[in-house]
Structure formats: C-alpha cells, structure tokens
Amino acid sequence: MGELVLTTYDWVPEMPRGLVRDLRVRWALEEAALPYRVATTPFHDRGADHLAHQPFAQVPWLTDGDLSIFESGAILLHLAGLSERLAPSDPKGRTAVTEWVFAALNSVEMASLPWFLMAVTPDAQSGPIWQRWEDWLKLRLQRLEPVLAEREWLVGKFSVADILMADVLRLPDRYERLADYHACSAYLARALARPAFAKAHADQMAHFAAGDELVSALS
Amino acid sequence: MGELVLTTYDWVPEMPRGLVRDLRVRWALEEAALPYRVATTPFHDRGADHLAHQPFAQVPWLTDGDLSIFESGAILLHLAGLSERLAPSDPKGRTAVTEWVFAALNSVEMASLPWFLMAVTPDAQSGPIWQRWEDWLKLRLQRLEPVLAEREWLVGKFSVADILMADVLRLPDRYERLADYHACSAYLARALARPAFAKAHADQMAHFAAGDELVSALS
C-alpha cells in the first residue's frame, strides 16, 4: 500500500453537501482506520488533469501510491483488499461482498437515483411517468426488505457493501420512502449510527464549508 | 473452479430477447472458452428458490460449484478471475478492469437505462423532462468519446469491462444515439464483431425461441 490520497471537489453548492460520493470513501477509510489525506480538484474548472483521473469529470478518485482509481464501487473494493475491517477474508465472503456492492449500485441505486432526479425536478412529481419511477423504487425496496429482515449486515459482518447500500438508501430515506420498509429503515439507522459514518459526514461538511470561506476570502 | 451453470428465464416476451443480461455472461464464457451449461428458472413464477439465488427476482445468476453469484458485474469479475482471456493478470490491470466495469454500469448505464425506460414509455419523449434524460445520456457519451478515440479496448486488451460497456451501449445505439459519437460507434462495432458475441446472442435467441415451442406444446 502506498500513500492514500482521496480527491474531491474544492467546493460544491449547498444542496449536494453531505451527498458527494467522496463520503463513501471517507467512511470506508475511517472504518478501516487507514491513514489518508484529502486533496481537491476545482469544481468549476474540470480540466485535463481531472479527466486523466476521472474521465466522466466527477469525483471522487483515490490514489494508492502510483495507482489511481475512480468509481466509488471500484475504490471501495480496492480498500476492502487492504483491510479485514471492510470485508470477510475468505473467497466466498469476498465474492458475496462484490455481488452486494453491484446490487447496491446497479440494482438499488439504478432505481433510486433516477427517482431522486425526478424528485428534485420541478413539476415532475405527478402523472403516470412519476408513478413509474415510484413503482420501480418500491419494487427494489420490497425485494430488499426480506433480505435485511434476516440479517444485521449484508454479508455476515459489516463490509463495504453496507457502506454503499446504506449510502444509496439515504436518498429515498430523506424523502420518507423507507417508511413502509421497517427492516430497510432499521438497517440504515444501524449503519448511520457507526462512528465512522459520523466522522466521514462531518469531515465532508467541514471540507465544503472551508471551501466557502476560501471563496469569500478570494472574492 | 466447479461446474459452471448459468441460470436464465425459461421464456421472455419478444421485446427483451437479445437484451436479457444472461447475454453478458454467455459472452464472457464464450470469450474464455470455459465449459458451462444453461439452466432455467420460470419467468412467470419467481418463487423462493429464485429469490434464494437472486433476491431481486431477476436473472442471471451463475453457480460455480457450490458458489452462487448474482449481478452481471459480479459474475463477470468472478469469471475474469478464471481466465486470462477476460482480464489482464497484473494487479494494476485488474484494478483498471474493475473501475471500468463500474463505469459501464454505474456511470454509463446509470444514464442509459433510465433514458431507455423513457424511450419505451408512451408519450414520454417530449418536454423538459425527456430533454433532461437525453442530456444526461449525451453527457456520458461525450465523456466516453475521447477515451475510446484513443484506445482499442478500455484496458490495454479486451476484457470483461468491454463486454459490459459494449452491451450497455447497444441500447442507445439501437435508437441511433451513438450517431454523433464516432469512436463509441466504432468501439461498439469492434466489440459486436467478435465471434463470442455472435455465438452468445444467437444462443440467447435460440434459447427463448425454444421456450416458445415448449409453451405452445404445453398449451
């Protein structure tokens, strides 16, 4: 393992604060108690250096020595390889973590993110199309509910799959869409009660607040 | 490695034929020339046995001996561990494959699948909301274009990341949304020209056609 450097924006508007995906990486790093530092890339000017690390001009990316990794799912699987606090160490457990990481991102978030984008689009929350997004989200939560009713964490013990699934569930929860899914709600509450989440969230909020101060000092 | 068994539906309606995600797994298995057999689960009756393998009541899943894996991304990463034809063998190359697998599924498909769902929803292809989905898809393609202009495959040599990215690009291509992105189009054409894709696609079409015959024989 080389030096771990997490790169995120220097600043973002108020709305996405607490939701920027560097949170997932901070959370994992805090769970594992791995040493890391945070670097920034300009939010307003996403140039060639940014694209060299993250071709879709998003954040975060992580460097581990001379290795640069983008996509929060890939970063968390990489970190899981560095610490037993982030995944079981047996091959079967590792495969289960991988499948649940994809389930969080490609099955649950695949429904919840479009739903969220509609939920924040003016005049989009009515009619048959809105109902279609609502139904898709419900379908995923209905299937997740019995899974979470039977287990504390997705894969035997807490893992990066839980970090991703819990972070994905935060958006529907914010709009009270977990109210009918008691196991999902309880699971999310368990995950968010972990000190590493609280630290990661507070650190992200403080990071972007510091960005505000820098902007105001320079303007 | 145990016996590899790919499970998909016994039958699907005409529209999704050629698009069911077992295609991704068939393609990878054909590229690697790994022996496998195909098993079926009822499309119309998704019971407890189905949910035990795939909690979201979808397909495919793969069993490798006593290991059962769902999510096409997780299955393809597992197969990549079984064959050098599916990924580079050095750690840096493997990390790059993982990040591009997530990029295909969580950055590109995250935009293209909601777009496709709107594209097939009656009366949904006009107005500011439709434009929003069109713009989101374009944003991803615009970022992918310079990446693919510079390389034959995403990660040095052909890998499971290309199987997923190409399969994801098939949907926008079907609706002529790649027309302005020549590198994306050329990349997709290169990928689909591979004999393993042709075999996988033909096998899926034949599989569901056989399902038709079974239904008509039984009714």
Residue B219 has pLDDT above 70, yes or no: no
**Residue B118 in contact with residue B192, Cβ under 8 Å?**
no
Please tell me the distance in Å from A132's CA to the nearest CA on chain B: 9
User: Quick check: do B4-85+196-218 and B91-194 share a fold?
Assistant: no
pLDDT above 80: residue B170: yes
- Site of tokens 């379908």: A139
- Give the confidence band of A219 by pLDDT, cuts at 50, 70, 90: low
* Among B11-20, B152-161, B209-218, the least confident range: B209-218
In eight-state DSSP terms, residue B155 is: B
| ipTM surpassing 0.90 | yes
Contact assignment for B74 to A99 by CB distance below 8 Å: yes
Tens digit of each residue's pLDDT (9 = 90 or more) over A18-73: 999 999 999 999 999 999 999 999 999 999 999 999 999 999 999 999 999 999 99
Contact present, A87 and A94 (Cβ < 8 Å): yes
First to last CA, chain B: 40
Q: Which residue of B has its CA nearest to A105?
A: B106
Homologous superfamily of domain range A4-84: Glutaredoxin (3.40.30.10)
* B50: confidence class by pLDDT, cuts 50, 70, 90: very high
B160 vs B101: CA distance, rounded Å: 7
Q: How far is A217 from chain B (nearest CA, A)?
A: 33
User: Under the phi-then-psi rule, with left for phi > 0, alpha for psi from -120 to 50, and beta for the rest, what region is B185?
Assistant: alpha
CATH number of B4-85+196-218: 3.40.30.10
Fold of the A91-195 domain: Glutathione S-transferase Yfyf (Class Pi); Chain A, domain 2 (1.20.1050)
Query: Could A129 and B106 be called an inter-chain contact, meaning their C-beta atoms sit closer than 8 Å?
Result: no
- B19's enclosing H/E stretch is none
Q: Where are the domains of chain A?
A: 4-84, 91-195
- Domain boundaries B91-194, corresponding CATH code: 1.20.1050.10
In degrees and rounded to multiples of 5, residue A63 shows phi and psi of -110, 140
The CA distance from B165 to the nearest CA of chain A, in Å, is 14
Say which residues have a Cβ less than 8 Å from residue A2's Cβ, sequence separation at least 6: A63, A64, A65, A66, A67
Torsion of CA A139, A144, A150, A153, to 10 degrees: -170
DSSP B152: S
**φ, ψ at A57 (rounded to 5°):** 60, 35
Q: B215 pLDDT exceeds 80?
A: no
Partner-chain contact A106 B106, CB within 8 Å: yes
Please name which of B177, B167, B100, B105 lies closest in space to residue B138, comparing C-alpha atoms.
Answer: B177
